[in-house]
Amino acid sequence: MAAIVPMARPIWTEEMRKEAIETLDSGIWVKGPKNRLFSDNFAKYCKASAAIPCSSGSTALYVALRLLGIGPGDEVILPSFTFIATATSVSLTGAKPVFADVETEYWCLCPHDTRLRINEKTKAILGVHLFGQAYHPKLIELAQKFGIPIIEDAAQAHGTELMENGTLMKAGTLGDIGCFSFFPTKNMAVGGEGGMITTNNVELGKRLHTIVNHGRDGSLISQELGTNLRMSEAMAAIGNIQLKYLDEWLMRRAEIAGKYLLALDQHPDIIAPKVRDDSKHSWHQFCILAQNPSKILEYFENQGISARRIYQQPCHLHTVYTTHEQYQEKFPVTDALSQSMISIPVHHGLYDNEVEKIVIALSNL
Residue 192: pLDDT band with limits 50, 70, 90: confident
* Mean pLDDT confidence for 129-137: 98
Residue 156: pLDDT band with limits 50, 70, 90: very high
Residue 165: pLDDT band with limits 50, 70, 90: confident
Domains and CATH numbers, the chain: 14-242 (3.40.640.10), 246-363 (3.90.1150.10)
Mean pLDDT for the chain overall? 95
**Does position 219 have pLDDT exceeding 80, yes or no?**
no
Tell me which residue of 85, 12, 120, 28 sits closest to 349, measured CA to CA.
12
**Does position 1 have pLDDT exceeding 80, yes or no?**
no
pLDDT tens for each residue of 8-65? 998 999 999 999 999 999 999 999 999 999 999 999 999 999 999 999 999 999 999 9
Nearest 5°: the CA angle 245, 250, 252 is: 100
Predicted TM-score (pTM) of this structure: 0.96
